[in-house]
Structures are given as structure tokens and as C-alpha cells.
Amino acid sequence: MLSVLSSKKEGFRFYFILRDGERSFGGGLAENGFLVSDGACTQKELMLRTLVNKCMNDFVPEVFARGEWGVDLTRFGFEGEGEIFRSSWEKLRLPHDCGN
């Protein structure tokens, strides 16, 4: 069973713990504005959706990500700038294509 719980971690504006059975993975919005997740996370898109939703709800003005998420970040409203992707609050979105 999957669960995602809000937590706190130094160096992050907000942080979540995703539990996938006995395994736990973390991810959040780092102080530098980047969305990050544990490299071994088995549910990266779910974590990304959680973080994007939180950014939208909290009106985070600017968010960055790298291509390490394993999904097309443009689906979430990001624009590529080399290896770095950027989005603003008004452009972030949660796609409804369920992994396509």
C-alpha cells in the first residue's frame, strides 16, 4: 500500500515521505527551489505529482527540476533550459494522462 506523508527536513521548504510497503523514500522542495526525490524512489511520478500539487496550493512563485524524474516534465508545465527545467506557479499543472 502506498502512502505519502508530510514531514520536515533541514534544507527543504517542504518534504514528504512516500511509503511503498516496507520501503520509504523522501522528496521535497529544496531551499534552492529544486524539486528533488531519493534516487531509489520506486514511485517518482507519484512523488512529483505530490510536490507539484503542494507548489500549486502554496503559490510557490518559481520551481526548478532536473530531468532525473523519468517523466516528461513539460506535461507538468515545466520548460527546459538545458539540463534544468523551470516553471512558475501559474504554469504548473497536474496532467490527467496517467503516465502517458
pLDDT tens figures, 68-96: 999 999 999 999 977 899 999 999 999 98
Does the residue 47 lie in any domain?
yes
* Domain carrying residue 39: 2-88
d(CA 60, CA 55): 5
Q: What is the pLDDT of residue 13?
A: 97
pTM for this prediction: 0.90
Domains held by the chain: number: 1
Count CA atoms closer than 13 A to 67's CA, side-chain side.
7
CATH number at residue 76: 3.40.630.30
Residue 99 has pLDDT above 70, yes or no: no
pLDDT-based confidence at residue 98 (cuts at 50, 70, 90)? low
User: Mean pLDDT throughout 41-48?
Assistant: 93
Does the residue 97 lie in any domain?
no
Q: Quick one: how many helices (H) and strands (E) in the chain?
A: 1, 7
Does the residue 11 lie in any domain?
yes
Query: Cβ distance 2 to 25 under 8 Å?
Result: no
Query: Cβ distance 34 to 66 under 8 Å?
Result: yes
Does the residue 93 lie in any domain?
no
